[in-house]
């Protein structure tokens, strides 16, 4: 049985690999959690487990390695080893180069935003952006999407807030137009024969 973790009001399975087929293209469903939420460990890393069926042999689970902000795995379905790793992405640029190709994309499922509020939606990984987040007096997080929109010291002072995040983050644009920032990625398992069509 997969381990679970409490995230908001929902319980989600431990991070595992998931591959879905999209027509003649291949895409990957990614489950997204807040940047400061790690369902697997306390040191900011994820573990990913890979299931591979080989003929009549029992399914074997491989612990691949820690999945960090710059360590992603992709997979390409070859008809026999649907869950075998085929490519490692060392950087966001490498991911973008891969998904901007003619035959690949990465489609994402969002389950929580940077404030920990549970969202459910689908979209595509768009780009890397600079995000500044300030905690306002009401306790909510306010974000600025571009460097030139960085909150001023005066604004922070007047709000009595605090600049809590500053850096290079990914961005997801959902199908309904909402944008989501500041997340970590893990993979959601689909067992053999359960590939989804979207």
pLDDT of 197 above 50: no
Distance CA 188, CA 75 (A): 13
Residue 114: closest CA among 70, 167, 48: 167
How far is the C-alpha of 2 from the C-alpha of 5, rounded, in Å? 10
What is the C-alpha separation between 156 and 143, in angstroms, rounded? 12
- Give the per-residue pLDDT at 191: 37
Q: What is the pLDDT of residues 59-105, one digit of tens each?
A: 322 222 222 222 233 332 222 222 323 344 444 455 545 544 444 44
CA dihedral 9, 180, 100, 167 (to 10 degrees): -120
Task: Kindly report the backbone phi and psi dihedral angles of residue 185, in degrees, each rounded to the nearest multiple of 5, phi listed first.
Answer: -120, 135
Distance, in Å, from the CA atom of 39 to the CA atom of 170, rounded to the nearest integer, reads 20
């Amino acid at each position: 049985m997969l381990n679970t973790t409490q995230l908001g009001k929902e319980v989600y399975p431990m991070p595992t690999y998931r591959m879905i087929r999209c027509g003649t293209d291949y895409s990957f469903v990614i489950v997204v959690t807040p940047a400061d939420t790690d369902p697997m460990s306390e040191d900011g890393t994820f573990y990913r487990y890979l299931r591979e069926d080989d003929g009549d042999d029992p399914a074997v689970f491989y612990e691949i390695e820690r999945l960090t902000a710059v360590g992603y795995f992709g997979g390409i379905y070859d008809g026999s080893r649907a869950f075998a790793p085929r490519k490692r992405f060392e950087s966001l640029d490498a991911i973008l180069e891969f998904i901007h190709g003619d035959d690949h994309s990465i489609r994402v499922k969002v389950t929580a935003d940077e404030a920990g509020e549970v969202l459910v939606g689908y979209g595509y990984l768009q780009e890397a952006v600079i995000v500044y987040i300030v905690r306002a007096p009401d306790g909510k997080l306010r974000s600025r999407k571009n460097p030139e929109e960085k909150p001023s010291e005066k604004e922070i002072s007047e709000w009595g807030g605090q600049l809590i995040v500053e850096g290079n983050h990914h961005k997801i644009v959902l199908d309904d137009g909402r944008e989501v920032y500041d997340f970590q990625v893990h993979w959601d398992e689909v067992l053999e024969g359960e590939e989804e069509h979207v």
